[in-house]
């Protein structure tokens, strides 16, 4: 399998015609520049578990705006964001390093559920999230952009940081084979994370490329205890890593 970042650009610009289709025309996003995935590790396809982290909409314009209007964040992530101490980045980085070591960014994929944004400012999470339901419905339910990304890279383990962001748009899993979605926890399930409750909705399904796609919709890292959040997510991912390693040994 040949998975490269240009594959995503082709998906956005040619296959889905983002910004130039009738569904995007219905969307009420104010900053209309679809963000390509933050990163796609060069060795992602080599891993048995193929972990993809999926966050809430970005803030501002974190990268180069291409001629099509799409944002390429590659240089900003490599030079700045991946090493930030903000929970969104640092917790993800620590979890990934617990699984893959110091070069963890070579092995994971990191993207956003909704591609445009209503929220100006930096990626530190301090500005108010203004994502509308219309944005979620158009991008996730109608265009299925994130599901197309998942299919393109044949991810096998999904971590959505979107428990409090319009969970209803994730009820339907368009990449799942008919009747294969299995609820491991209820949609409203939570777990203890230091002195807070952390959303934790887990499912599995079969797809055309794997018989065991694991999907975890978890609370956003922001304002969560670092050690507890990282440990919970690391342990969940390690279970998958152990299982996959055994299967592919």
- Please provide the average confidence, as pLDDT, over all residues in the chain: 92
Degrees (nearest 5) of the Cα angle 162, 149, 246? Answer: 85
Residue 2's pLDDT band (cuts 50, 70, 90): very low
The model's confidence at residue 247, banded by pLDDT at 50, 70 and 90, is very low
Sign, CA torsion 215/155/234/89: negative
Question: Quick check: 78 pLDDT over 80?
Answer: yes
Place 128 in a pLDDT band, splitting at 50, 70 and 90.
Answer: confident
What is the Cα Rg of the chain in Å? 17
pLDDT at position 14, please?
95
Of 3.40.470.10, 3.30.70.260, 3.40.50.620, 3.10.129.10, the CATH number of 5-248 is: 3.40.470.10
Specify the long-range contacts of residues 19-25, CB closer than 8 Å, at least 24 apart.
Answer: 19/68, 19/69, 19/70, 21/143, 23/138, 23/142, 23/143, 24/138, 24/143
Residues 6+ apart with CB under 8 A from 208: 151, 175, 177
Question: Given this model, what pLDDT does residue 240 score?
Answer: 62
Q: What percent of the chain has pLDDT over 70?
A: 92
Rounded CA-CA distance 13/19 in Å is 9
CA distance linking residue 25 with residue 81, whole number of Å: 30
Q: Which residues, in sequence order, are CB contacts of 15 under 8 Å at separation 6+? A: 148
Question: How high is the pLDDT of residue 239?
Answer: 84
Spatial distance between the Cα atoms of 40 and 193, rounded to a whole number of angstroms: 29
> Is the model's pLDDT at 242 over the cut of 50?
no
Average pLDDT over residues 70-96: 95
* Choice between 122 and 32, residue whose per-residue pLDDT is larger: 32
- Burial class of residue 25, CB neighbours in 10 A (0-12, 13-18, 19+): exposed
Work out the average pLDDT over 63-73.
96
Which pLDDT band holds residue 249 (cuts at 50, 70, 90)? very low
Comparing 30 with 121, which gets the higher pLDDT?
Answer: 30
Per-residue pLDDT tens for 143-167? Answer: 999 999 999 999 999 999 999 999 9
Q: Does the pLDDT value for residue 228 go beyond 90?
A: yes
- Binned at pLDDT 50, 70 and 90, residue 121 comes out as confident
% of the chain beyond a pLDDT of 90: 87
Q: Are 111 and 44 in contact (CB under 8 A)?
A: no
Report pLDDT digits (tens) over 163-222.
Answer: 999 999 999 999 999 999 999 999 999 999 999 999 999 999 999 999 999 999 999 999
pTM of the model: 0.93
């Amino acid at each position: 399998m040949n998975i490269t970042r240009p594959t995503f650009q082709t998906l956005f610009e040619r296959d889905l015609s983002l910004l130039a289709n009738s569904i995007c025309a219905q969307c009420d996003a104010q900053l209309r520049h679809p963000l390509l995935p933050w990163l796609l590790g060069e060795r992602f396809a080599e891993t048995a578990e193929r972990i993809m982290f999926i966050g809430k909409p970005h803030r501002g314009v974190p990268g180069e705006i291409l001629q099509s209007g799409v944002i390429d964040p590659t240089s900003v992530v490599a030079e700045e964001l991946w090493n930030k101490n903000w929970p969104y980045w640092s917790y993800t980085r620590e979890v990934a390093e617990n699984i893959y070591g110091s070069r963890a960014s070579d092995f994971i994929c990191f993207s956003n559920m909704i591609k445009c944004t209503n929220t100006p400012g930096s990626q530190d999470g301090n500005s108010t999230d203004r994502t509308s339901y219309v944005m979620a419905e158009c991008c996730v339910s109608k265009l299925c952009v994130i599901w197309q990304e998942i299919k393109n890279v044949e991810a096998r383990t999904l971590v959505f940081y979107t428990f409090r962001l319009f969970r209803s748009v994730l009820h339907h899993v368009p990449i799942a084979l008919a009747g294969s979605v299995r609820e491991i926890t209820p949609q409203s399930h939570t777990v203890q994370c230091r002195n807070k409750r952390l959303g934790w909705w887990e499912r599995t399904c079969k797809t055309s490329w794997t018989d065991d796609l694991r999907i975890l919709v978890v609370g956003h890292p922001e304002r969560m205890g670092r050690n507890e959040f990282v440990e919970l997510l690391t342990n969940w991912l390690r279970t998958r890593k152990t299982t996959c390693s055994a299967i592919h040994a």
